[in-house]
Chain A
Amino acid sequence: MARAWRFGDSVNTDQIIPGRFNVTTDRSELGRACFVELRPEFAGSVQPGDVIVAGSDFGCGSSREHAVLAIQATGVAAVLAPSFGRIFYRNAINLGLTALECADADWVADGTEVVFDPGRGFLREIAGARQLTARPLPAFAQRIAGHGGVLELVRAHGSLQGSCGSGCGVEVGMNNNEGESENDPR
Protein backbone atom coordinates (compact mmCIF):
# COMPACT_ATOMS: atom_id res chain seq x y z
CA MET A 1 0.00 0.00 0.00
CA ALA A 2 1.24 3.43 -0.84
CA ARG A 3 0.14 7.02 -0.63
CA ALA A 4 -0.36 9.13 -3.72
CA TRP A 5 1.12 12.62 -3.59
CA ARG A 6 -0.78 14.87 -5.91
CA PHE A 7 0.92 17.77 -7.72
CA GLY A 8 -0.40 20.27 -10.26
CA ASP A 9 0.68 21.23 -13.76
CA SER A 10 4.14 22.47 -14.76
CA VAL A 11 6.03 21.60 -11.59
CA ASN A 12 9.51 22.78 -12.56
CA THR A 13 12.92 21.59 -11.47
CA ASP A 14 13.42 24.66 -9.27
CA GLN A 15 10.34 23.54 -7.34
CA ILE A 16 11.51 19.94 -7.13
CA ILE A 17 14.82 21.13 -5.75
CA PRO A 18 15.86 24.79 -5.59
CA GLY A 19 19.16 25.69 -7.23
CA ARG A 20 20.85 26.52 -3.95
CA PHE A 21 20.80 22.82 -2.99
CA ASN A 22 22.59 21.76 -6.16
CA VAL A 23 25.99 22.26 -4.63
CA THR A 24 25.91 18.73 -3.27
CA THR A 25 25.57 15.27 -4.71
CA ASP A 26 24.84 13.79 -1.29
CA ARG A 27 21.66 11.83 -1.81
CA SER A 28 20.17 12.23 1.66
CA GLU A 29 20.74 16.00 1.60
CA LEU A 30 19.04 16.18 -1.79
CA GLY A 31 16.17 14.07 -0.48
CA ARG A 32 15.61 16.37 2.48
CA ALA A 33 15.35 19.35 0.12
CA CYS A 34 12.86 17.69 -2.24
CA PHE A 35 9.90 20.07 -2.81
CA VAL A 36 11.18 22.07 0.17
CA GLU A 37 9.36 25.24 -0.89
CA LEU A 38 6.44 23.85 -2.85
CA ARG A 39 5.46 21.30 -0.19
CA PRO A 40 7.65 21.67 2.89
CA GLU A 41 6.01 18.70 4.62
CA PHE A 42 6.78 16.30 1.78
CA ALA A 43 10.32 15.18 2.59
CA GLY A 44 9.48 14.48 6.23
CA SER A 45 6.30 12.51 5.53
CA VAL A 46 6.85 10.60 2.31
CA GLN A 47 7.30 6.86 2.71
CA PRO A 48 9.31 4.53 0.47
CA GLY A 49 6.99 3.14 -2.20
CA ASP A 50 4.73 6.19 -2.35
CA VAL A 51 3.91 7.56 -5.79
CA ILE A 52 3.75 11.07 -7.19
CA VAL A 53 0.79 11.77 -9.47
CA ALA A 54 1.36 15.09 -11.19
CA GLY A 55 -0.14 17.34 -13.83
CA SER A 56 1.29 18.00 -17.26
CA ASP A 57 4.90 18.95 -18.03
CA PHE A 58 6.27 17.65 -14.74
CA GLY A 59 9.96 18.50 -14.36
CA CYS A 60 10.12 21.31 -16.90
CA GLY A 61 12.99 23.76 -16.62
CA SER A 62 16.65 23.10 -16.03
CA SER A 63 18.71 20.02 -16.88
CA ARG A 64 19.64 19.37 -13.24
CA GLU A 65 19.69 15.67 -12.43
CA HIS A 66 19.46 16.69 -8.81
CA ALA A 67 15.69 16.81 -9.39
CA VAL A 68 15.54 13.10 -10.19
CA LEU A 69 18.07 12.21 -7.51
CA ALA A 70 16.13 14.13 -4.88
CA ILE A 71 12.90 12.30 -5.71
CA GLN A 72 14.73 8.97 -5.77
CA ALA A 73 16.32 9.73 -2.42
CA THR A 74 12.89 10.05 -0.83
CA GLY A 75 12.08 6.47 -1.87
CA VAL A 76 9.24 7.44 -4.21
CA ALA A 77 8.48 4.45 -6.43
CA ALA A 78 7.22 6.30 -9.48
CA VAL A 79 6.10 9.60 -10.95
CA LEU A 80 2.99 9.47 -13.10
CA ALA A 81 1.98 12.46 -15.22
CA PRO A 82 0.24 13.20 -18.53
CA SER A 83 3.55 14.58 -19.82
CA PHE A 84 7.05 15.41 -18.60
CA GLY A 85 9.67 18.04 -19.24
CA ARG A 86 11.94 16.53 -21.86
CA ILE A 87 15.21 16.55 -19.97
CA PHE A 88 13.67 15.41 -16.68
CA TYR A 89 12.10 12.49 -18.54
CA ARG A 90 15.43 11.42 -20.03
CA ASN A 91 17.15 11.85 -16.68
CA ALA A 92 14.53 9.70 -14.97
CA ILE A 93 14.93 6.91 -17.53
CA ASN A 94 18.72 7.16 -17.43
CA LEU A 95 18.84 6.98 -13.65
CA GLY A 96 16.19 4.29 -13.20
CA LEU A 97 13.40 6.44 -11.69
CA THR A 98 10.08 5.12 -12.98
CA ALA A 99 8.44 8.03 -14.84
CA LEU A 100 5.35 7.03 -16.77
CA GLU A 101 2.99 8.99 -18.95
CA CYS A 102 -0.67 8.48 -18.19
CA ALA A 103 -3.64 10.56 -19.27
CA ASP A 104 -6.40 9.41 -16.93
CA ALA A 105 -5.21 10.07 -13.38
CA ASP A 106 -7.67 12.85 -12.54
CA TRP A 107 -9.40 10.69 -9.91
CA VAL A 108 -6.25 10.36 -7.85
CA ALA A 109 -6.41 12.86 -4.97
CA ASP A 110 -3.64 13.89 -2.63
CA GLY A 111 -3.48 11.20 0.04
CA THR A 112 -5.36 8.54 -1.94
CA GLU A 113 -4.14 5.14 -0.83
CA VAL A 114 -3.11 3.04 -3.78
CA VAL A 115 -1.34 -0.09 -4.92
CA PHE A 116 1.23 0.43 -7.66
CA ASP A 117 2.82 -2.21 -9.88
CA PRO A 118 5.82 -0.59 -11.60
CA GLY A 119 6.33 -3.50 -13.99
CA ARG A 120 2.91 -3.04 -15.54
CA GLY A 121 2.57 0.67 -14.86
CA PHE A 122 -0.65 -0.21 -13.07
CA LEU A 123 -2.17 1.89 -10.29
CA ARG A 124 -5.32 1.05 -8.32
CA GLU A 125 -7.04 2.67 -5.35
CA ILE A 126 -7.38 0.70 -2.14
CA ALA A 127 -10.80 1.99 -1.19
CA GLY A 128 -12.58 1.50 -4.51
CA ALA A 129 -12.37 0.14 -8.00
CA ARG A 130 -10.73 3.00 -9.82
CA GLN A 131 -7.50 2.17 -11.60
CA LEU A 132 -5.26 3.20 -14.45
CA THR A 133 -2.53 1.79 -16.63
CA ALA A 134 0.24 4.11 -17.78
CA ARG A 135 1.51 4.18 -21.35
CA PRO A 136 4.50 1.90 -21.97
CA LEU A 137 7.89 3.57 -22.41
CA PRO A 138 9.17 4.20 -25.95
CA ALA A 139 11.30 1.34 -27.30
CA PHE A 140 14.76 2.75 -26.70
CA ALA A 141 13.77 4.01 -23.25
CA GLN A 142 12.46 0.54 -22.46
CA ARG A 143 15.82 -0.89 -23.39
CA ILE A 144 17.51 1.52 -20.97
CA ALA A 145 14.96 0.84 -18.24
CA GLY A 146 15.42 -2.89 -18.80
CA HIS A 147 19.06 -2.50 -17.88
CA GLY A 148 18.20 -0.38 -14.85
CA GLY A 149 19.69 2.77 -16.34
CA VAL A 150 21.78 4.03 -19.21
CA LEU A 151 25.12 3.50 -17.47
CA GLU A 152 24.26 -0.17 -16.99
CA LEU A 153 23.29 -0.38 -20.65
CA VAL A 154 26.60 1.13 -21.77
CA ARG A 155 28.50 -1.08 -19.34
CA ALA A 156 26.80 -4.16 -20.74
CA HIS A 157 27.25 -3.30 -24.41
CA GLY A 158 30.25 -0.96 -24.57
CA SER A 159 28.33 1.83 -26.24
CA LEU A 160 24.82 2.96 -27.11
CA GLN A 161 24.98 1.69 -30.62
CA GLY A 162 26.48 -1.54 -29.34
CA SER A 163 23.22 -2.10 -27.48
CA CYS A 164 21.25 -2.09 -30.70
CA GLY A 165 22.46 -5.17 -32.49
CA SER A 166 20.78 -5.33 -35.85
CA GLY A 167 17.22 -4.66 -36.69
CA CYS A 168 16.35 -2.62 -33.62
CA GLY A 169 15.42 0.38 -35.70
CA VAL A 170 18.24 2.50 -34.40
CA GLU A 171 20.78 3.19 -37.10
CA VAL A 172 24.35 3.81 -36.12
CA GLY A 173 26.30 6.83 -37.23
CA MET A 174 29.60 7.17 -38.98
CA ASN A 175 32.71 7.60 -36.93
CA ASN A 176 31.91 4.48 -34.96
CA ASN A 177 34.33 2.12 -36.60
CA GLU A 178 37.01 2.27 -33.99
CA GLY A 179 36.44 -1.23 -32.75
CA GLU A 180 35.56 -0.29 -29.20
CA SER A 181 32.08 -1.68 -29.16
CA GLU A 182 30.75 -5.11 -29.83
CA ASN A 183 27.31 -5.68 -31.16
CA ASP A 184 24.85 -7.35 -28.90
CA PRO A 185 24.57 -10.90 -30.24
CA ARG A 186 20.83 -10.83 -29.65
Chain B
Amino acid sequence: MGTLAEEVIGARLGRPVKAGETVVVPVDLVMSHDTTTPLVADALAALGRQVRHPDRAVVVFDHISPAATIAAAQQHQKGRAFVEEHRIARLLTDGISHQVLPEHGLVAPGDIVVGADSHTVTMGAFGAFATGMGSTDVAVAYATGETWLRVPETIEVRLEGQFTPWVCAKDLILEVVRRIGSDGARYQSVEYTGSALPELQIGDRMTLCNMAVEMGAKAGIVAADQLTVAWLQGRLDRPLRLLQAQDPSYRRTEVVQLDSLEPMVVAPPTVDAGRPVRELAGLSVDQVFIGTCTNGRLADFATAAALLHGHQVAVRTIAVPASREVYLAALRLGYIESLVGAGVAVESPGCGPCLGRHKGVLGPGERAVTTMSRNFRGRMGDPTSEIYLVSPATAAATAMRGRITDPRELS
Protein backbone atom coordinates (compact mmCIF):
# COMPACT_ATOMS: atom_id res chain seq x y z
CA MET B 1 0.00 0.00 0.00
CA GLY B 2 1.55 3.28 -1.03
CA THR B 3 2.72 5.61 -3.73
CA LEU B 4 4.22 4.14 -6.86
CA ALA B 5 7.73 4.81 -5.51
CA GLU B 6 6.85 2.98 -2.29
CA GLU B 7 5.28 0.12 -4.25
CA VAL B 8 8.31 -0.32 -6.51
CA ILE B 9 10.88 -0.17 -3.72
CA GLY B 10 8.70 -2.34 -1.50
CA ALA B 11 8.20 -4.96 -4.22
CA ARG B 12 11.94 -5.11 -4.76
CA LEU B 13 12.56 -5.61 -1.03
CA GLY B 14 9.68 -8.01 -0.56
CA ARG B 15 8.16 -5.97 2.25
CA PRO B 16 6.15 -2.75 2.54
CA VAL B 17 8.14 0.46 2.87
CA LYS B 18 7.08 3.97 3.85
CA ALA B 19 8.39 7.37 2.87
CA GLY B 20 11.09 8.52 5.24
CA GLU B 21 12.75 5.21 5.98
CA THR B 22 16.25 4.51 4.72
CA VAL B 23 16.69 1.23 2.88
CA VAL B 24 19.48 -0.70 1.24
CA VAL B 25 17.99 -2.03 -1.95
CA PRO B 26 19.26 -4.32 -4.75
CA VAL B 27 19.86 -2.56 -8.04
CA ASP B 28 18.71 -4.06 -11.34
CA LEU B 29 20.74 -1.85 -13.65
CA VAL B 30 23.77 0.37 -13.12
CA MET B 31 24.93 2.89 -15.74
CA SER B 32 27.79 5.32 -16.16
CA HIS B 33 28.85 7.33 -19.22
CA ASP B 34 32.02 8.63 -20.85
CA THR B 35 32.33 11.63 -18.53
CA THR B 36 31.50 9.87 -15.26
CA THR B 37 33.05 6.43 -15.84
CA PRO B 38 36.67 7.54 -15.18
CA LEU B 39 35.72 8.61 -11.64
CA VAL B 40 33.75 5.39 -11.19
CA ALA B 41 36.79 3.42 -12.31
CA ASP B 42 39.00 5.31 -9.84
CA ALA B 43 36.56 4.63 -7.01
CA LEU B 44 36.33 0.91 -7.79
CA ALA B 45 40.10 0.70 -8.01
CA ALA B 46 40.39 2.47 -4.66
CA LEU B 47 37.93 -0.04 -3.26
CA GLY B 48 39.84 -2.93 -4.82
CA ARG B 49 36.62 -4.47 -6.05
CA GLN B 50 35.21 -5.91 -9.27
CA VAL B 51 31.80 -5.13 -10.72
CA ARG B 52 29.61 -7.67 -8.96
CA HIS B 53 27.00 -8.20 -11.68
CA PRO B 54 28.57 -7.38 -15.08
CA ASP B 55 25.32 -8.41 -16.77
CA ARG B 56 23.47 -5.62 -14.95
CA ALA B 57 26.12 -3.01 -15.76
CA VAL B 58 26.29 -0.79 -18.82
CA VAL B 59 28.65 1.94 -19.92
CA VAL B 60 27.38 4.43 -22.51
CA PHE B 61 29.49 6.88 -24.53
CA ASP B 62 27.13 9.74 -25.23
CA HIS B 63 28.39 13.01 -23.77
CA ILE B 64 31.33 13.68 -26.11
CA SER B 65 31.17 10.82 -28.57
CA PRO B 66 32.81 10.61 -31.03
CA ALA B 67 35.56 12.31 -29.02
CA ALA B 68 35.99 15.98 -29.86
CA THR B 69 39.27 16.53 -28.02
CA ILE B 70 42.30 14.53 -26.94
CA ALA B 71 41.13 14.74 -23.33
CA ALA B 72 37.75 13.29 -24.30
CA ALA B 73 39.48 10.53 -26.26
CA GLN B 74 41.49 9.69 -23.16
CA GLN B 75 38.27 9.43 -21.17
CA HIS B 76 36.97 6.98 -23.75
CA GLN B 77 40.17 4.95 -23.45
CA LYS B 78 39.74 4.81 -19.71
CA GLY B 79 36.09 3.83 -20.15
CA ARG B 80 36.94 1.03 -22.56
CA ALA B 81 39.65 -0.28 -20.22
CA PHE B 82 37.11 -0.26 -17.40
CA VAL B 83 34.58 -2.22 -19.46
CA GLU B 84 37.23 -4.78 -20.35
CA GLU B 85 38.71 -5.12 -16.88
CA HIS B 86 35.34 -5.66 -15.27
CA ARG B 87 33.91 -7.76 -18.11
CA ILE B 88 30.95 -5.40 -18.34
CA ALA B 89 28.41 -6.91 -20.68
CA ARG B 90 27.61 -3.78 -22.67
CA LEU B 91 29.38 -0.71 -23.96
CA LEU B 92 26.80 1.27 -25.93
CA THR B 93 27.72 4.06 -28.31
CA ASP B 94 24.46 4.46 -30.20
CA GLY B 95 22.91 7.42 -28.39
CA ILE B 96 21.98 9.02 -25.10
CA SER B 97 21.98 6.57 -22.20
CA HIS B 98 18.47 7.36 -21.02
CA GLN B 99 17.16 6.67 -24.52
CA VAL B 100 19.23 3.63 -25.51
CA LEU B 101 18.93 1.68 -22.25
CA PRO B 102 15.16 1.30 -22.73
CA GLU B 103 15.62 0.70 -26.46
CA HIS B 104 17.98 -2.20 -25.71
CA GLY B 105 15.43 -3.74 -23.35
CA LEU B 106 17.54 -3.11 -20.26
CA VAL B 107 14.81 -1.37 -18.24
CA ALA B 108 11.59 -3.00 -17.07
CA PRO B 109 8.71 -1.74 -14.94
CA GLY B 110 9.47 -2.26 -11.25
CA ASP B 111 13.25 -2.12 -11.73
CA ILE B 112 15.60 -0.10 -9.57
CA VAL B 113 17.97 1.80 -11.87
CA VAL B 114 20.99 3.82 -10.74
CA GLY B 115 22.92 5.96 -13.19
CA ALA B 116 25.86 8.34 -12.91
CA ASP B 117 23.87 11.07 -14.63
CA SER B 118 21.18 13.29 -13.19
CA HIS B 119 18.76 12.64 -16.06
CA THR B 120 18.62 8.92 -15.23
CA VAL B 121 15.16 9.81 -13.88
CA THR B 122 13.98 9.72 -17.53
CA MET B 123 13.58 5.94 -17.25
CA GLY B 124 10.85 6.34 -14.65
CA ALA B 125 8.63 6.64 -17.73
CA PHE B 126 8.64 2.82 -17.80
CA GLY B 127 7.46 2.38 -14.22
CA ALA B 128 11.00 1.87 -12.92
CA PHE B 129 12.46 3.70 -9.94
CA ALA B 130 15.38 5.34 -11.70
CA THR B 131 17.62 7.86 -10.05
CA GLY B 132 20.82 9.73 -10.77
CA MET B 133 23.78 9.57 -8.44
CA GLY B 134 27.42 10.55 -8.36
CA SER B 135 30.27 8.37 -9.51
CA THR B 136 31.12 7.04 -6.05
CA ASP B 137 27.52 5.98 -5.35
CA VAL B 138 27.51 4.31 -8.74
CA ALA B 139 30.84 2.61 -8.01
CA VAL B 140 29.32 1.20 -4.82
CA ALA B 141 26.31 -0.01 -6.81
CA TYR B 142 28.67 -1.67 -9.33
CA ALA B 143 30.71 -3.29 -6.56
CA THR B 144 27.92 -4.46 -4.28
CA GLY B 145 24.82 -4.67 -6.48
CA GLU B 146 22.99 -2.46 -4.02
CA THR B 147 22.41 1.15 -3.09
CA TRP B 148 21.08 3.06 -0.13
CA LEU B 149 18.27 5.53 -0.35
CA ARG B 150 15.69 7.26 1.70
CA VAL B 151 12.24 6.22 0.47
CA PRO B 152 10.94 9.52 -0.90
CA GLU B 153 7.73 11.35 -0.27
CA THR B 154 5.72 11.88 -3.45
CA ILE B 155 4.22 14.83 -5.27
CA GLU B 156 1.34 13.75 -7.50
CA VAL B 157 1.02 15.61 -10.79
CA ARG B 158 -2.45 14.76 -12.09
CA LEU B 159 -2.99 15.37 -15.78
CA GLU B 160 -6.48 15.98 -17.17
CA GLY B 161 -7.87 16.89 -20.58
CA GLN B 162 -5.92 16.97 -23.83
CA PHE B 163 -3.36 19.11 -25.60
CA THR B 164 -4.48 21.75 -28.06
CA PRO B 165 -2.62 21.85 -31.42
CA TRP B 166 1.14 22.58 -31.24
CA VAL B 167 1.20 22.16 -27.46
CA CYS B 168 3.05 19.10 -26.17
CA ALA B 169 4.58 17.33 -23.17
CA LYS B 170 7.49 19.81 -23.07
CA ASP B 171 5.14 22.75 -22.61
CA LEU B 172 3.36 20.74 -19.92
CA ILE B 173 6.51 19.95 -17.96
CA LEU B 174 7.74 23.55 -18.20
CA GLU B 175 4.43 24.56 -16.60
CA VAL B 176 4.80 21.87 -13.91
CA VAL B 177 8.36 23.01 -13.12
CA ARG B 178 7.13 26.61 -12.97
CA ARG B 179 4.48 25.67 -10.41
CA ILE B 180 6.59 23.38 -8.24
CA GLY B 181 9.84 25.35 -8.47
CA SER B 182 13.42 24.30 -9.14
CA ASP B 183 13.82 22.79 -5.68
CA GLY B 184 10.15 22.16 -4.85
CA ALA B 185 10.47 18.40 -5.26
CA ARG B 186 13.85 18.04 -3.57
CA TYR B 187 14.43 14.52 -2.17
CA GLN B 188 10.94 13.56 -3.44
CA SER B 189 9.38 11.47 -6.18
CA VAL B 190 7.14 13.09 -8.79
CA GLU B 191 4.40 10.69 -9.87
CA TYR B 192 2.36 11.48 -12.97
CA THR B 193 -1.25 10.30 -12.91
CA GLY B 194 -4.64 11.30 -14.27
CA SER B 195 -7.09 10.63 -17.05
CA ALA B 196 -4.80 12.18 -19.68
CA LEU B 197 -1.96 9.77 -18.99
CA PRO B 198 -3.13 6.82 -21.13
CA GLU B 199 -3.05 9.19 -24.11
CA LEU B 200 0.51 10.31 -23.49
CA GLN B 201 3.03 8.40 -25.58
CA ILE B 202 6.15 6.81 -24.09
CA GLY B 203 8.25 9.66 -25.48
CA ASP B 204 5.97 12.20 -23.78
CA ARG B 205 6.28 10.34 -20.50
CA MET B 206 10.06 10.30 -20.86
CA THR B 207 10.03 14.09 -21.30
CA LEU B 208 7.93 14.46 -18.13
CA CYS B 209 10.11 12.14 -16.03
CA ASN B 210 13.32 13.61 -17.49
CA MET B 211 12.62 17.06 -16.10
CA ALA B 212 11.58 15.83 -12.65
CA VAL B 213 15.21 16.40 -11.73
CA GLU B 214 14.84 20.08 -12.64
CA MET B 215 12.52 20.28 -9.63
CA GLY B 216 15.16 18.60 -7.47
CA ALA B 217 13.36 15.25 -7.50
CA LYS B 218 14.96 11.91 -6.76
CA ALA B 219 12.68 10.25 -9.31
CA GLY B 220 9.94 10.93 -11.81
CA ILE B 221 7.65 7.98 -12.34
CA VAL B 222 4.67 6.80 -14.38
CA ALA B 223 2.87 3.51 -13.72
CA ALA B 224 3.43 1.08 -16.58
CA ASP B 225 0.32 0.33 -18.65
CA GLN B 226 -0.60 -1.36 -21.93
CA LEU B 227 1.24 1.32 -23.87
CA THR B 228 4.41 0.51 -21.91
CA VAL B 229 3.95 -3.20 -22.52
CA ALA B 230 3.48 -2.59 -26.25
CA TRP B 231 6.61 -0.38 -26.43
CA LEU B 232 8.72 -2.95 -24.59
CA GLN B 233 7.45 -5.87 -26.65
CA GLY B 234 10.26 -7.42 -28.63
CA ARG B 235 12.85 -5.50 -26.62
CA LEU B 236 12.91 -7.56 -23.44
CA ASP B 237 11.62 -11.01 -22.61
CA ARG B 238 11.39 -10.78 -18.83
CA PRO B 239 7.96 -11.09 -17.20
CA LEU B 240 6.73 -7.56 -16.49
CA ARG B 241 5.60 -6.34 -13.06
CA LEU B 242 2.94 -3.72 -13.68
CA LEU B 243 2.81 -2.02 -10.30
CA GLN B 244 0.31 0.68 -9.40
CA ALA B 245 0.05 3.09 -6.51
CA GLN B 246 -2.19 1.51 -3.87
CA ASP B 247 -4.21 3.90 -1.73
CA PRO B 248 -1.31 6.36 -1.86
CA SER B 249 -0.67 9.23 0.47
CA TYR B 250 0.78 12.16 -1.50
CA ARG B 251 2.50 15.10 0.12
CA ARG B 252 1.02 17.41 -2.50
CA THR B 253 -1.17 17.11 -5.59
CA GLU B 254 -0.87 19.44 -8.54
CA VAL B 255 -3.62 19.21 -11.17
CA VAL B 256 -2.87 20.38 -14.70
CA GLN B 257 -5.55 20.84 -17.36
CA LEU B 258 -3.81 20.13 -20.64
CA ASP B 259 -6.38 22.14 -22.60
CA SER B 260 -5.38 25.30 -20.75
CA LEU B 261 -1.70 25.09 -21.71
CA GLU B 262 -0.01 27.07 -24.44
CA PRO B 263 3.52 26.96 -25.89
CA MET B 264 6.00 27.81 -23.14
CA VAL B 265 9.49 29.30 -23.02
CA VAL B 266 11.95 29.62 -20.15
CA ALA B 267 14.48 32.45 -20.19
CA PRO B 268 17.80 31.93 -18.37
CA PRO B 269 19.15 31.24 -15.86
CA THR B 270 16.61 29.18 -13.88
CA VAL B 271 14.33 26.45 -15.18
CA ASP B 272 11.26 27.40 -13.18
CA ALA B 273 10.65 30.78 -14.85
CA GLY B 274 8.44 29.48 -17.66
CA ARG B 275 6.06 31.84 -19.45
CA PRO B 276 3.98 31.80 -22.64
CA VAL B 277 6.05 31.99 -25.83
CA ARG B 278 3.95 34.92 -27.04
CA GLU B 279 5.41 37.09 -24.26
CA LEU B 280 8.89 36.74 -25.74
CA ALA B 281 7.87 36.47 -29.39
CA GLY B 282 10.16 38.38 -31.72
CA LEU B 283 13.33 38.08 -29.63
CA SER B 284 16.24 37.47 -31.99
CA VAL B 285 18.14 34.19 -31.81
CA ASP B 286 21.62 33.06 -32.88
CA GLN B 287 21.19 29.30 -32.73
CA VAL B 288 18.43 26.71 -32.47
CA PHE B 289 19.07 23.21 -31.15
CA ILE B 290 16.61 20.31 -31.30
CA GLY B 291 17.60 17.14 -29.45
CA THR B 292 18.73 15.76 -26.03
CA CYS B 293 17.28 13.23 -23.59
CA THR B 294 14.42 15.68 -23.11
CA ASN B 295 13.35 16.08 -26.74
CA GLY B 296 15.47 14.12 -29.22
CA ARG B 297 12.93 11.42 -30.03
CA LEU B 298 11.07 10.46 -33.19
CA ALA B 299 7.93 12.48 -32.40
CA ASP B 300 10.13 15.55 -31.83
CA PHE B 301 11.79 15.06 -35.21
CA ALA B 302 8.36 14.55 -36.80
CA THR B 303 7.19 17.89 -35.41
CA ALA B 304 10.31 19.73 -36.51
CA ALA B 305 10.21 18.17 -39.97
CA ALA B 306 6.51 18.98 -40.40
CA LEU B 307 7.17 22.64 -39.73
CA LEU B 308 10.44 22.97 -41.64
CA HIS B 309 9.72 20.80 -44.70
CA GLY B 310 10.04 22.88 -47.83
CA HIS B 311 11.31 25.95 -45.97
CA GLN B 312 14.75 27.33 -45.12
CA VAL B 313 15.88 28.06 -41.59
CA ALA B 314 16.70 31.71 -40.91
CA VAL B 315 19.27 30.97 -38.24
CA ARG B 316 21.87 28.23 -37.71
CA THR B 317 20.02 25.16 -36.51
CA ILE B 318 21.32 21.87 -35.17
CA ALA B 319 19.33 18.66 -34.71
CA VAL B 320 20.67 15.62 -32.88
CA PRO B 321 18.66 12.40 -32.64
CA ALA B 322 18.68 10.86 -29.17
CA SER B 323 19.67 7.47 -30.57
CA ARG B 324 20.60 5.56 -33.69
CA GLU B 325 17.15 3.93 -33.60
CA VAL B 326 15.53 7.38 -33.69
CA TYR B 327 17.95 8.47 -36.42
CA LEU B 328 17.18 5.47 -38.63
CA ALA B 329 13.43 5.83 -38.18
CA ALA B 330 13.64 9.55 -38.94
CA LEU B 331 15.63 8.73 -42.08
CA ARG B 332 13.09 6.17 -43.25
CA LEU B 333 10.21 8.56 -42.64
CA GLY B 334 11.88 11.39 -44.53
CA TYR B 335 12.27 13.69 -41.52
CA ILE B 336 16.04 13.91 -41.87
CA GLU B 337 15.74 14.81 -45.54
CA SER B 338 13.22 17.56 -44.67
CA LEU B 339 15.52 18.97 -42.00
CA VAL B 340 18.72 18.79 -44.02
CA GLY B 341 16.86 20.28 -46.98
CA ALA B 342 15.82 23.16 -44.74
CA GLY B 343 19.45 23.84 -43.88
CA VAL B 344 19.59 22.09 -40.50
CA ALA B 345 22.89 20.52 -39.43
CA VAL B 346 21.93 16.99 -38.37
CA GLU B 347 24.60 15.51 -36.11
CA SER B 348 25.24 11.94 -34.97
CA PRO B 349 23.23 10.66 -31.96
CA GLY B 350 24.27 11.70 -28.45
CA CYS B 351 23.99 14.59 -26.02
CA GLY B 352 25.14 17.04 -28.69
CA PRO B 353 25.72 20.68 -27.75
CA CYS B 354 23.71 20.40 -24.49
CA LEU B 355 27.01 20.27 -22.58
CA GLY B 356 28.74 23.07 -24.41
CA ARG B 357 31.62 20.93 -25.56
CA HIS B 358 31.01 20.17 -29.24
CA LYS B 359 28.59 20.36 -32.18
CA GLY B 360 27.42 23.92 -31.56
CA VAL B 361 29.21 25.71 -28.74
CA LEU B 362 27.94 29.26 -28.09
CA GLY B 363 30.15 32.34 -28.29
CA PRO B 364 30.02 35.45 -26.07
CA GLY B 365 26.56 36.98 -25.85
CA GLU B 366 24.94 34.48 -28.21
CA ARG B 367 21.36 33.42 -27.61
CA ALA B 368 20.20 29.83 -28.17
CA VAL B 369 16.67 28.48 -28.29
CA THR B 370 16.75 24.78 -27.50
CA THR B 371 14.69 21.75 -26.55
CA MET B 372 17.09 20.98 -23.67
CA SER B 373 16.15 20.75 -20.00
CA ARG B 374 18.62 23.22 -18.48
CA ASN B 375 19.28 26.89 -19.10
CA PHE B 376 22.09 27.35 -16.59
CA ARG B 377 24.45 30.20 -17.41
CA GLY B 378 27.31 29.08 -19.63
CA ARG B 379 26.09 25.52 -20.04
CA MET B 380 26.35 25.62 -23.84
CA GLY B 381 29.53 27.65 -24.02
CA ASP B 382 30.60 31.16 -23.12
CA PRO B 383 29.31 32.31 -19.73
CA THR B 384 27.67 35.35 -21.33
CA SER B 385 25.64 33.22 -23.75
CA GLU B 386 21.96 32.57 -23.08
CA ILE B 387 19.80 29.45 -23.24
CA TYR B 388 16.02 29.58 -23.74
CA LEU B 389 14.10 26.33 -23.25
CA VAL B 390 11.18 25.44 -25.52
CA SER B 391 9.32 22.55 -27.18
CA PRO B 392 10.41 21.06 -30.53
CA ALA B 393 7.52 22.89 -32.26
CA THR B 394 8.57 26.26 -30.85
CA ALA B 395 12.22 25.51 -31.66
CA ALA B 396 11.36 24.71 -35.29
CA ALA B 397 9.11 27.76 -35.64
CA THR B 398 11.87 29.90 -34.16
CA ALA B 399 14.41 28.38 -36.57
CA MET B 400 12.22 29.33 -39.49
CA ARG B 401 11.93 32.99 -38.48
CA GLY B 402 15.22 33.52 -36.63
CA ARG B 403 13.16 35.03 -33.84
CA ILE B 404 11.26 33.41 -30.99
CA THR B 405 8.01 32.31 -32.58
CA ASP B 406 4.82 30.72 -31.31
CA PRO B 407 4.34 27.66 -33.55
CA ARG B 408 0.59 28.31 -33.73
CA GLU B 409 1.35 31.38 -35.81
CA LEU B 410 2.73 29.23 -38.61
CA SER B 411 -0.07 26.71 -38.91
Contact = CB atoms under 8 A, between A and B. Distances in A.
Interface of A: 10, 12, 14-15, 18-20, 22-25, 37, 56-57, 60-66, 68, 83, 85-87, 90-91, 94-95, 138-140, 149-151, 154-155, 159-161, 164, 169-176, 180-181
A63 B24 contact: no
Contact of A151 (B38, B132, B140, B148): B140
Interface of B: 12-15, 17, 21-26, 35-36, 38-39, 42-43, 46-49, 52, 64, 69, 71-72, 74-75, 115-118, 120, 132-137, 139-140, 143-148, 150, 182-183, 186-187, 216-218, 270, 355-357, 374, 376-379, 383
B13 A87 contact: no
17 contacts: A19-B355, A23-B72, A57-B183, A61-B376, A63-B133, A85-B216, A86-B216, A140-B148, A150-B137, A151-B46, A161-B24, A171-B17, A171-B23, A173-B12, A173-B14, A173-B25, A173-B26
A25 B182 contact: no
Given A95-B136, A169-B22, 5 more contacts: A56-B183, A63-B36, A160-B140, A171-B15, A174-B12
Contact of B21 (A19, A86, A169, A173): A169
Contacts of A25: 38-39, 42
Q: Which label, helix, strand, loop or mixed, suits the secondary structure of the A interface?
A: loop
A62 to B, nearest CB: 5
Most-contacted residue by chain A among B22, B43, B74 (CB, 10 A): B22
Contacts, number: 161
B281 to A, nearest CB: 28
Contacts of B376: 12, 14-15, 61
Contact of B134 (A57, A65, A155, A180): A65
Contacts of A62: 117-118
Contacts of B23: 170-171, 173
A36 B145 CA distance: 37
A173 B186 contact: no
Contacts of B38: 25
Nearest to A68: B134
A140 B22 contact: yes
Contacts of A161: 24, 146
Q: Which 7 A-B pairs have the closest CB atoms?
A: A91-B134, A23-B71, A57-B183, A94-B136, A65-B134, A63-B118, A161-B24
A150 B377 contact: no
Nearest to B138: A63
